């Protein structure tokens, strides 16, 4: 089993959806939104809706807890910080892309970002509103570490009840076995193994967008997948499959 780039994004979205609220509840310590950035410079960050549109409800590129709680009202598309962003930075092939079944490795940047509320400087605020930028760095680092651990617990598996290989969060499978919802499961793929192989070292860096008062922590991770293009070219059209010998030798 292999995962696709879209699967990788879906796992990130799921990590945000399932991220727990701590007790006592502090919204700044629970991921509130997810966005796959569309621009390398991340210009969506700092906008009112992260560049999302109502149709993003049904794709793996955006999710918002605030929008979810409003029942995905298209007129109420909004989000709160902190957010998890992802961006496909670059990819490279490990074998020839001109041959069938080549392997492609994607490098994806993940970042947890939050907003600094500078009204905390009056000394009267508490909780999330009282955090200096250094505390935001610490909090976003913790959340990003937790997201990476979530990725490490994703497995491909079959169950006694469902023999179709699917991606699961392994602790969820264990819970279903404990509660008797499934009899047993068999792991066929480990994302952790894929990530460990391709990321012997992961570097983290701080994010600073002072114009928008946004700060956070980011890293880049690489995972590899076999690519199996399914396009079958139409050979029934006359002449189009025949290339003239002199096609590239025209006189000026």
Which run of H or E residues covers position 185?
Answer: strand 185-190
| Number of other CB atoms surrounding residue 72 within 10 Å | 14
Query: What's the pLDDT at 159?
Result: 93
What pLDDT sits at residue 26?
87
- Residues 6 or more apart whose CB falls under 8 angstroms from that of 209 comprise 45, 46, 113, 215
- Taking each continuous run of H as one helix and of E as one strand, the counts in the chain are 5, 9
The closest of 108, 135, 117 to 80, measured between CA atoms, is 117
Domain-wise residue ranges, the chain: 5-225
pTM score, two decimals?
0.88
| Whole-angstrom distance, CA of residue 211 vs CA of residue 34 | 21
Token reading at 147: 């997201």
Per-residue pLDDT of the chain (252 residues; tens, 9 = 90+): 778 999 999 999 999 999 999 877 789 999 999 999 988 777 888 888 899 999 999 899 999 999 999 999 999 999 999 999 999 999 998 888 887 778 889 999 999 999 998 765 556 667 788 899 999 999 999 999 999 999 999 999 999 999 999 999 999 999 999 999 999 999 999 999 999 999 999 999 999 999 999 999 999 999 998 776 677 877 777 666 666 655 555 555
Positive or negative, the CA dihedral 243, 248, 249, 250 is: positive
């Amino acid at each position: 089993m292999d995962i696709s780039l879209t699967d990788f994004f879906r796992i990130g979205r799921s990590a945000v959806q399932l991220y727990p609220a701590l007790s006592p509840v502090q919204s700044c310590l629970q991921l509130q939104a997810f966005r796959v950035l569309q621009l390398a410079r991340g210009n969506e960050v700092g906008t009112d809706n992260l560049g999302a549109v109502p149709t993003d409800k049904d794709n793996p590129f955006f999710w918002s807890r605030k929008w979810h709680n409003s029942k995905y009202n298209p007129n109420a598309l909004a989000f709160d910080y902190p957010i998890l962003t992802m961006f496909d930075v670059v990819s490279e092939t490990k074998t020839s892309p001109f041959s069938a079944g080549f392997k492609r490795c994607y490098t994806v940047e993940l970042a947890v970002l939050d907003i600094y509320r500078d009204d905390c400087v009056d000394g009267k605020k508490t909780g999330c509103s009282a955090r200096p930028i250094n505390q935001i760095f610490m909090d976003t680092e913790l959340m990003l570490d937790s997201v990476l651990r979530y990725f490490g617990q994703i497995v491909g598996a079959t169950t006694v009840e469902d023999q179709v290989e699917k991606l699961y969060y392994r602790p969820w499978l264990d819970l279903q076995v404990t509660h008797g919802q499934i009899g047993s499961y068999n792991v066929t793929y480990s994302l952790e193994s894929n990530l460990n192989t391709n990321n012997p070292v992961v570097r983290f860096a701080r994010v600073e967008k002072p114009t928008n008062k946004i700060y956070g922590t980011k890293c880049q991770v690489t995972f590899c997948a076999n690519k199996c293009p399914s396009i079958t070219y139409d050979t029934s059209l006359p002449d189009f499959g025949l290339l003239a010998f002199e096609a590239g030798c025209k006189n000026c």
